[in-house]
Chain A
Amino acid sequence: MLWLEVSLYALGPAILTYLLFFNVFWAILVLLLVGSIIILYIKPWKHSLENIASYIDVHLDATEYSTGLLLEPKEKLSDIARIQQNRVTTRLVEKLKTIKPPNHIVRGSIILGSFILVGLVIYQYQLMDRLQWSQPSNVTPEAIVFKPTDTTSTAVQPPKLIRQQLTINYPNYTQVPSVETSSMDIKAVEGSRVSWKIQFDKEIKHVTMESMGNSYPLELTDEAYTGASALTTAGFYNFKFTDLQDRSYVSELYAIEVIKDKSPSVEIKGIQQFTSFDFNEDKKLSFNTLITDDFGIADAYIIATVSKGSGESVKFREEKLNFNSKIPKGSKNTNLFKNINLDQMKMEPGDELYFYVEALDRKRPKPNTARSETFFAVIKDTVSDTFAVEGTMGVDLMPDYFRSQRQLIIDTEKLLKDKPKLTTQEYKSKSNELGFDQKVLRLKYAEFMGDESEFGGTAEGDVETPDHEEDHHEEGHEEEDPLAKYTHAHDSENEHNLVEEEKKEDPLEEYLHNHEDPEESTLFTQSLKSKLRQALNEMWDAELYLRLYTPEKSLPYQYRALKLIQEIKNSARIYVHRIGFDPPPIKEEKRLTGEIDEVSSYNKSADLEQEDIYLSIRLSVARLEQLIVEESKITNEDKQLFKQAGNELATKAIENPGQYLETLQQLKWISEDIAVPYEALVALQKSLYVALPALQPNAFKKKKQTSEINEFLLKELEIND
């Protein structure tokens, strides 16, 4: 009996489940589940004889609470007990039919019945379907909804869309399989190829795909219209088709979202940005590089640059190093290890190593590259002399004057090396040119000696006369002030004026140092001066041999000159800085006395007013307000306006497609002659208003009402002021 009750309890929910979901599996599951719970609760196996006896005791007075005696063996009982047992037995036989075992079959059947009833009611009225309807169903595929643009003729059945398919072919390198979907919103990697296929149940005239103001016709192949395009930029598109009755239909707008293939990210770990080694240390660098990319790494390497020397003599050597392990091509992230032994890089004390890691991804045709930060490694120099610039100098003028001699030597050596390749003519001309450069250099140094800076004025210049012809074609160079590069031009002009004038008036002239006189020049100490003179002489000889087209003979002189200059450089740098010109104050009466004939008044006209880029949107919002309040009809002009507003919004929407897609959609429909309900107008106005940026503050002309009384008041105020 109890088992029956349990099964009744369990059957009710099971049948209800079946009626709700029409699924036998779920029904059986519920049956077993509920059944087992009820069984655990009721525990039908637990009904022992003792339980039954006590039940009978309670419910049957005639037994006098002695039913339990029947369970005891007769032998164990006392006499009185036996008598009692007998009595009970006889009475039980009489009355047993009056008592029924406890059960709730009726209750169970009522519950079962009510479950079935509820199930039937739900089944009958399909309450479940309605319940599900109220929840957003995300299972239904997004079909393209076409709306007829002409609202008048709705009698004819419009062609129906029976198939829509969007295929996105990702670029090969991404190794992402192509996707086929019926959802028309596109989100794909740049360079993907997209193709559409849509099929109608009837024959139609043509289908076009409209995107960002352009339209592309789709081709008819195998009864379906197909088209394809490569993704380059984000945007929107929609379909439009014309049926045989020349009615056109537009679909919703779909977003094209282009995901850019990201550049790989490179991270170097396990090393300081700046590492320095002593000479006797074990000069080894080791580091890990973590490279990640969204579609796989193609290659990665280390670009190391070794710099030798310093200042003018610095030399760079670039090397491309590979990692210790091979790069797994196409893996999305990889950890690479590298050891660099600075000794193997042929680095010496004072040399510096700069390196960074460069990684390429698999993008075609041009891979994205990324590079890490630059790391430094230095082998400390054992000797170092640092050059300190004088504190008063605002500009760090590392003297470049002495560079040319080294360059001349390099060029001369190069010329000698190239001699076999060159024609005699070229060789001679180059040699002569070098001679000229040597002369220019010499003249520059001569200035420090107090020699004339102007060409031709120097003693050496006179010697050049035999070569005058050759010099001639380089007059352009000669006319330039060789110091122009090293001085402030505007200073020097003024300098001439002032210095000259002062000289005329100055009675103390003879007590001053005369810088014009090379012999009295105190620019350099005596030893320096002689050294410089020596160098000049060497240069002179070098020039001579260059001019004689024998550069090989000139080289020793050049080397000697270089050596001397190097010596001077080290001791005399400071003086070079100090030659800087310190302009005296300009005299007051000279100020503002310049000629202004050349200066003339001038006029300039311009229209700077900036166009409002959201003009149509603003007008649309105003027009929509009218349409909403007055409930009037949309005119053709309105449609034009909304179209323009759509274009304006589209430019804004590209940056943020999700936000404005719906608005664009509504604008499109309004401008395409589709009847729009009142709520849609409100929604459109709302979203357009939100899309509009606030105007920047601008002044405006206020209006006022003038009246005699106001004027009288002002007059009175003025009088009594």
Chain B
Amino acid sequence: MIENITFLHSNWIVPIAISAIVLWCIFIWKEGSDFGKGRFWIKITIAGIAISALACIALQPALPILGKKTKVAILTTNYIEDQLDSLQKVHKRLKTVEYKANQPIFRNIHTSDTVFVLGEGIAPFDFWQLKNYEVRYIKSDAPSGVIKFRYDKKRVVGEQLYIEGIYNNPKKGNHLILEEPGGNAIDSIALLSETKQSFRLSADLKVIGNYNFSLVEKDSLGTIYARDPIPITVIDRTHLKILIVNSFPTFETKYLKNYVAENGHEVVVKSRITKGRFKFEYFNTDRIPIGAFSEKNLQPFDLVILDATTAKNLGRSSRTALTNAIKQHGLGLFIQPDEDFFRYRKDEVAFDFVKEKSTETSLGTAPKTKIAKYPFLFKDQFQLQVIHKNGTSDIVSAYKHLGKGKVSTTVLQSTYELLLNGKTTEYQQVWSEIISAIGKKESAAVSWDAHNILAIKDQSYEFTLRTAIPEPEVTTDEGYRIALRNDIDMSNLWLGKTYPKKLGWNRISVAQDTTAVLDYFVTDTSTWKAKSAYDDILRNRRHFDRASIKNTKQFSPLAPINPIGFYILFLVCIGYLWLAPKIEKE
């Protein structure tokens, strides 16, 4: 007990102690005449007590308020009664506190013992309040609803939006519906009575801009249970510049060039008509002379498509230029195969093929469509990146990295027959995937990465910024500047945090590059309830499990001991000292 006493004015200890001893010495000297008598000893003892009482009044001793044995349970939303009951059974003197976000947790309760957190946990921004306590987190069950979801919040127009997620504890008969902006239902899934149900919904992205899709849960009568926003930024397509070189005109190239040119890509086609004579076609672009490849004339192109013969018969300088363009500038190369291509020596092709009998296949994405192919398949090996797999999961088109660029080919043959058979979409799908996968990538000056898809009003929203700009200045819509923290290892990585005030779409931008903006959607806490609750549970678990490992040193609040006792003691002692000589005299 005594070791718990601390003095509130502990910095005065030395002067007070000295003056007390001096005072006592004076007193001893004053009583020196009685030295050796019994009352001398009594007097100096009492004087000593009086002086110490006086010193104590000045020093204000204090004691920790609560004893160790008081435990506290913080009750957060959806805590389980049974858990609280069991706790109370074990710890009889358990005190309970209702948790309210963003308010002091221990208003007038003080403890030095374990704190239990029950339920969905406390908000991350309140973690600091429990910093000095040993916290045990007792989680509640995951809430019913969508607890996890994932989608690309920035997509290119024409792509599909896929939203995948997990619905916890679904109610049978209800439906999850994906609605387009404006509220038109486009995809849905019926919920089953499982403990967890994963779902995947998709939508076509038809328009550029910032939009809000919504995920709606309805029961069989159409009553809406929840409507949660799915904000997405749809950006425009950037066109590629493509060079096609063929040693003789083919139907494959003819249809391919028409397809890409009609979709706005810049296409240059050079095909040999006869020895030394070429046909040059320029679509959506100006005329540029294309002779032998050089790094200079390959510079503007994002993708080069060669037929196998051309690729094989490239001159030494052309080959070097092409390889350099691929390795250093990220150019994509696609080789249109022919029968001989698969029999080239390995060092010429860079791909390994396995011979097989079938000359027809179907794509995994369109299992009913038959496509002609050469009787070969890719051998799956290290570094091979798959573009297409067929219905039986064999690789039919793939690419490999070569420096910054990519080299690709396919075993598909005469894909234009798809067009002739009226399978236009499948044809376009095949080629758009190949071209998108291997085309040169535009290096973005600024790229944003947000930790959360959704921001919540008045809560922190963290983002990272990767940019080569030396000291980026990031400002909000309102013109406030956000302070950034540079990563210690990576000079181009910056971390920032903002507190959005406006609901709906918010934008932060880099002052040095006004085109580099991050649009993020701010909601309030009424949306995605199940997910945010689930996230809180996870976050609490993570935080408090980690916190329990370190030995938390506790600081109990102190209360000064009431000085009245010291006063009385002092008065009694002084009274005795005053009275005693008078009694002795009589």
Asked if B264 is at the interface of the complex by the 8 Å CB criterion, the answer is: yes
Would you list which residues of chain B between 9 and 34 have a CB under 8 Å from chain A?
none
Taking A622-B208, A686-B184, A702-B441 as contacts, is the C-beta distance between A707 and B490 under 8 angstroms? yes
A111 to chain B, nearest CB (A): 38
Taking A610-B262, A621-B207 as contacts, is the C-beta distance between A698 and B184 under 8 angstroms? no
Taking A701-B239, A703-B444 as contacts, is the C-beta distance between A603 and B282 under 8 angstroms? yes
Residues of B within 8 Å of A687, CB to CB, are 182
Report the Cα distance A294→B574, complex, angstroms.
130
A606, B283: Cβ atoms closer than 8 Å: yes
Q: Which of A609, A629, A692 lies in contact with B264, CB distance below 8 A?
A: A609
Residues of B within 8 Å of A698, CB to CB, are 158, 237, 263-264, 428, 432
Residues of B within 8 Å of A393, CB to CB, are none
Q: Please, which residue of chain B has its CB at the minimum distance from the CB of A701?
A: B238
A697, B425: Cβ atoms closer than 8 Å: yes
A622 to chain B, nearest CB (A): 4
Asked if B306 is at the interface of the complex by the 8 Å CB criterion, the answer is: no
Q: Please, which residue of chain A has its CB at the minimum distance from the CB of B280?
A: A603
Asked if B198 is at the interface of the complex by the 8 Å CB criterion, the answer is: no
Asked if B265 is at the interface of the complex by the 8 Å CB criterion, the answer is: yes
B182, A609: Cβ atoms closer than 8 Å: no
A689, B281: Cβ atoms closer than 8 Å: no
Q: Please, which residue of chain A has its CB at the minimum distance from the CB of B285?
A: A605
A134 to chain B, nearest CB (A): 19
Q: Contact size class for B?
A: 35 or more
Most chain A beta-carbon contacts within 10 A, residue among B181, B207, B277? B207
Q: Please, which residue of chain A has its CB at the minimum distance from the CB of B156?
A: A700
Report the Cα distance A214→B434, complex, angstroms.
47
Contact mask A667-692 → B, CB, 8 Å, 1/0?
A: 00000000000000011111111101
Q: Please, which residue of chain A has its CB at the minimum distance from the CB of B434?
A: A699
Q: Please, which residue of chain B has its CB at the minimum distance from the CB of A630?
A: B504
Report the Cα distance A542→B443, complex, angstroms.
89
B274, A596: Cβ atoms closer than 8 Å: yes
Contact mask B258-301 → A, CB, 8 Å, 1/0?
A: 10111111000000011111111111101100000000000000
Taking A606-B261, A707-B492 as contacts, is the C-beta distance between A601 and B280 under 8 angstroms? yes
Q: Please, which residue of chain B has its CB at the minimum distance from the CB of A686?
A: B182
B466, A629: Cβ atoms closer than 8 Å: no
Asked if A98 is at the interface of the complex by the 8 Å CB criterion, the answer is: no
Report the Cα distance A685→B424, complex, angstroms.
29
Q: Which of A608, A621, A697, A700 lies in contact with B284, CB distance below 8 A?
A: A608
Residues of A within 8 Å of B431, CB to CB, are 699
Asked if B359 is at the interface of the complex by the 8 Å CB criterion, the answer is: no
Q: Please, which residue of chain A has its CB at the minimum distance from the CB of B160?
A: A694
Taking A606-B281, A608-B258, A629-B504 as contacts, is the C-beta distance between A704 and B444 under 8 angstroms? yes
Residues of A within 8 Å of B262, CB to CB, are 608-610
Asked if A479 is at the interface of the complex by the 8 Å CB criterion, the answer is: no
> Would you call the interface of chain A mostly helix, strand, loop, or mixed?
mixed
Asked if A718 is at the interface of the complex by the 8 Å CB criterion, the answer is: yes
Report the Cα distance A700→B434, complex, angstroms.
10
Residues of A within 8 Å of B277, CB to CB, are 596, 599-601
Would you list which residues of chain A between 692 and 721 have a CB under 8 Å from chain B?
692-709, 711, 714, 717-718, 721
Taking A596-B277, A610-B262, A703-B444 as contacts, is the C-beta distance between A696 and B284 under 8 angstroms? no
Report the Cα distance A304→B232, complex, angstroms.
69
Report the Cα distance A629→B181, complex, angstroms.
11
Asked if B131 is at the interface of the complex by the 8 Å CB criterion, the answer is: no
Taking A603-B280, A609-B263, A629-B505 as contacts, is the C-beta distance between A702 and B183 under 8 angstroms? no
A324 to chain B, nearest CB (A): 48
A686, B183: Cβ atoms closer than 8 Å: yes
B340 to chain A, nearest CB (A): 19
Report the Cα distance A200→B207, complex, angstroms.
44
Taking A618-B208, A689-B206 as contacts, is the C-beta distance between A699 and B260 under 8 angstroms? yes
B282, A606: Cβ atoms closer than 8 Å: yes
Report the Cα distance A518→B383, complex, angstroms.
75
Report the Cα distance A703→B236, complex, angstroms.
12
Q: How many A-B residue pairs have CB under 8 A?
A: 178
Contact mask B232-266 → A, CB, 8 Å, 1/0?
A: 00000111100000000000000000101111110
Residues of A within 8 Å of B274, CB to CB, are 596, 599
B205 to chain A, nearest CB (A): 8
Report the Cα distance A607→B262, complex, angstroms.
8
Q: Which of B264, B278, B403, B442 lies in contact with A703, CB distance below 8 A?
A: B442
Asked if B157 is at the interface of the complex by the 8 Å CB criterion, the answer is: yes
Report the Cα distance A695→B281, complex, angstroms.
26
Q: Please, which residue of chain B has its CB at the minimum distance from the CB of A602?
A: B279
A609, B261: Cβ atoms closer than 8 Å: yes
A693 to chain B, nearest CB (A): 8
A689, B441: Cβ atoms closer than 8 Å: no
Asked if B447 is at the interface of the complex by the 8 Å CB criterion, the answer is: yes
Asked if A552 is at the interface of the complex by the 8 Å CB criterion, the answer is: no
Q: Please, which residue of chain A has its CB at the minimum distance from the CB of B436?
A: A699
Residues of B within 8 Å of A490, CB to CB, are none
Taking A698-B432, A699-B265 as contacts, is the C-beta distance between A714 and B239 under 8 angstroms? no
Residues of A within 8 Å of B197, CB to CB, are none
Would you list which residues of chain A between 609 and 645 have a CB under 8 Å from chain B?
609-610, 618, 621-622, 625-626, 629-630
Asked if B199 is at the interface of the complex by the 8 Å CB criterion, the answer is: no
Q: Please, which residue of chain B has its CB at the minimum distance from the CB of A706?
A: B443
Taking A607-B283, A609-B263, A704-B443 as contacts, is the C-beta distance between A696 and B273 under 8 angstroms? no
Asked if A366 is at the interface of the complex by the 8 Å CB criterion, the answer is: no
B439, A599: Cβ atoms closer than 8 Å: no
Report the Cα distance A604→B267, complex, angstroms.
12
Residues of A within 8 Å of B204, CB to CB, are 694-695
Q: Which of A604, A625, A702, A706 lies in contact with B281, CB distance below 8 A?
A: A604
B209 to chain A, nearest CB (A): 4
Q: Please, which residue of chain A has its CB at the minimum distance from the CB of B261?
A: A608
Asked if B524 is at the interface of the complex by the 8 Å CB criterion, the answer is: no
Contact mask B419-443 → A, CB, 8 Å, 1/0?
A: 0000011001101111110011111
Asked if B404 is at the interface of the complex by the 8 Å CB criterion, the answer is: yes
Report the Cα distance A629→B466, complex, angstroms.
29
Subset of 7 A-B contacts with CB under 8 Å: A601-B279, A605-B287, A609-B264, A626-B209, A689-B181, A698-B264, A699-B434
**Besides A699-B435, A714-B403, 14 other A-B contacts (C-beta < 8 A):** A604-B281, A604-B282, A607-B283, A690-B180, A690-B184, A695-B206, A697-B428, A700-B158, A701-B239, A701-B436, A702-B441, A702-B442, A703-B443, A703-B444
Q: Which 5 A-B pairs have the closest CB atoms?
A: A686-B182, A699-B435, A622-B209, A695-B158, A700-B237
